[in-house]
Amino acid sequence: MAGSITLEVDGCAVEVPDDGASLLEVLRDRLGVRSPKDGCSPQGQCGCCTVLVDGAARVACVTPVRRVAGRRVTTVAGLPAEERERWAGAFLATGASQCGFCTPGIVVRLSALAARPDRAGDEAAVERALGAHLCRCTGWRTILEAWALARSGGDTAAEVTSLSPPEGERDLAVAAVRATLEGGAPQAVGAGVAVGAGGFADDTAPAGALVAVPGGSGGWAVGETLREARAAAGKVQGRRSTIDLRHPLQVPPGEWELTLRTTWVEPAYLETDASWCEPGGEPATPLANGGAFGAKRDSPAPAAARRLADEHGRPVRVLLSREDTVRLGAKRPPVAAGVRADGTGLMRVVRTPGIATAVTAVAPGLVVEEVDVPGPPTSAALRSAGEAEALVLLAALRGETPVSVTTSAGATAVAEVGDDGVHVRVECGQPLDEVVLRSYCTGAAHMALGWVRREGIAVDEAGTVHDLTIRSFGILRAGETPPVEIEIVASEATPVNGSDAVFAAVAAAEWLRQGCPQDWPTSRARGGPA
């Protein structure tokens, strides 16, 4: 083949055109290797596409394939079977993977670290290695536990799994019920999830499908390949903003005991919106193996896939880039609230269907005033939107430490944040599977700390979103996340979502610890290079 590149992928020699493609494009779209995921391409900031090149971890989306000509590329699928099973077993045993989108790249990174004993001796080294990755679900601590478990001495994946409680075999079908309850969408639990087999929409698309991406004028640009479709759309790489965060709402005048202002918050799920459809068929759900914290319920991808497949008479993949997801996806709505000592008060919130009901369900003394503000779309479907803000205000008003909150679903969480980490006790009916419940609660604690401390996106007065890179959202990295201790109080009551209660309780505890400053995020350092 003239003008071609040869390399080795997962032990097999391959030859591809030398046409400027990235390694990720070659792996996923030309060779059908779907274990590396595309969470931000071509930003190179999320780590989901990490592979090994001659044994060294490398981000595939910003690596031109010509740079790896003649070299050995290994994805998580190409790791030795026993090693891959060991990692998968450890991640399953500790709850270190929920949706499983980010973990194939993380496993590859940890595999490279494990091959360097001089650099793998302590938790700090692992945290530094994980600095190249983002995980929105698990709160990092479970991943550190999976690392320790995988390297603790078991000779097989079964032995690794047995080292972690609960004793005996787990009923993974029951575990999936708990995961679905916490995530708000059907979710599988199993060793394969951690190594990329979660069944994500774009992973299941048929070969040869057309590709559609959002066009510059509001329609869809279609091409034979992702690169062709993006070229037709005139896609321009997004950047981190140079403008500061803005609080669009003002706290109403009044004799308030406590006030709070927030800005737009990006849900920051790693799997960007995707769907595909055959002509006359049903589109693949963008929820796939996770609910995206409620943010994908109104995704435009499935309807577009169905319409375009019928229009072109061919299967069509619809893919949103990271920038598309940030511009078009639903955000947590900003609020500005004042509350009196008796729990009455006023909460202004960017107009969002259902938000007033969510607030008054837990804080009937708060009057909700919805305000029209230019900005990205918002949704009450995002994790406890409105309810969590109200619970935080009332808990902080009480001023009691540890903080206790009870959600409208009936779950109770008691939380304390200190110099030694986060301590949480949660009661949400029958646990069903303590590993899964603990994982979701740990992830909720991580998200709550980020929400209070750093998370937000820059939106100008015209409503245009400026923060378009995944590192600009303010998500806490592994090395910035304190230890999280979760105590589960079992009962025979009907199981309900528990992680949302943890989210509100930890946010309130962190806010109290800081002295309840009015504006969130409380720190402007939003982390990471653009």
Confidence of residue 161 (pLDDT cuts 50, 70, 90): very low
Mean pLDDT of 165-189: 86
Domain edges within the chain: 4-74, 78-199, 335-513
Does residue 110 carry a pLDDT above 50? yes
Burial class (CB in 10 A: 0-12, 13-18, 19+), 70: exposed
Does residue 159 carry a pLDDT above 80? no
> What is 78-199's CATH number, 1.10.10.10, 3.40.605.10, 1.10.150.120, 3.40.50.300?
1.10.150.120
CA distances from 467 to 151, 244, 451 (A): 39, 10, 16
Does residue 139 carry a pLDDT above 60? yes
Mean pLDDT of 69-82: 98
Q: Give the residue from 504, 433, 458, 359 showing the smallest Cα distance to 177.
A: 433
CA distances from 40 to 43, 136, 481 (A): 5, 14, 22
Helix spans in 207-300 (H)? 226-233
Under the phi-then-psi rule, with left for phi > 0, alpha for psi from -120 to 50, and beta for the rest, what region is 353? beta
Q: What pLDDT was estimated at residue 118?
A: 75
Confidence of residue 121 (pLDDT cuts 50, 70, 90): low
Residues constituting the chain: 530
Q: Compute the distance between CA of residue 173 and CA of residue 179 in angstroms, rounded to an integer.
A: 10
Mean pLDDT of 102-108: 97
Q: Is 322 helix (H, G, I), strand (E, B) or coil?
A: helix
Helix spans in 22-171 (H)? 23-25, 81-94, 103-114, 123-130, 141-150, 157-162
Q: What pLDDT was estimated at residue 244?
A: 87
Distance of CA 404 to the CA centre of its chain: 26
State the virtual CA torsion across 437, 438, 439, 441 in degrees, nearest 10. 90
Q: How many CA atoms lie within 13 A of 26 on its CB side?
A: 28
Residues in Cβ contact with 10 at an 8 Å cutoff, skipping those fewer than 6 apart: 33, 73, 74, 75, 77, 78
Residues 398-422 have pLDDT tens digits of 999 999 999 999 999 999 999 999 9
Does residue 1 carry a pLDDT above 80? no
Distance of CA 168 to the CA centre of its chain: 30
Q: What pLDDT was estimated at residue 166?
A: 45
Q: State pTM to two decimals.
A: 0.94
Q: Across 46-50, 116-120, 467-471, which has the greatest mean pLDDT?
A: 46-50
Q: Compute the distance between CA of residue 312 and CA of residue 204 in angstroms, rounded to an integer.
A: 20
Residues 418-462 have pLDDT tens digits of 999 999 999 999 999 999 999 999 999 999 999 999 999 999 999
Residues in Cβ contact with 195 at an 8 Å cutoff, skipping those fewer than 6 apart: 35, 76, 77, 84, 87, 88, 100, 103, 104, 107
Residues 283-303 have pLDDT tens digits of 999 988 877 888 998 899 999
Mean pLDDT of 359-370: 98
Mean pLDDT of 232-252: 83
Mean pLDDT of 191-215: 95
Q: Which CATH class is domain 335-513?
A: alpha beta
Does residue 389 carry a pLDDT above 60? yes
pLDDT over 70 for what percent of the chain? 94
Mean pLDDT of 320-328: 93
Q: What pLDDT was estimated at residue 347?
A: 98
Residues in Cβ contact with 285 at an 8 Å cutoff, skipping those fewer than 6 apart: 201, 275, 302
Q: What pLDDT was estimated at residue 300?
A: 94
Residues 472-527 have pLDDT tens digits of 999 999 999 999 999 999 999 999 999 999 999 999 999 999 999 999 999 964 44
> What is 4-74's CATH number, 3.10.20.30, 3.40.50.12780, 3.50.50.60, 3.20.130.10?
3.10.20.30
Mean pLDDT of 228-246: 81
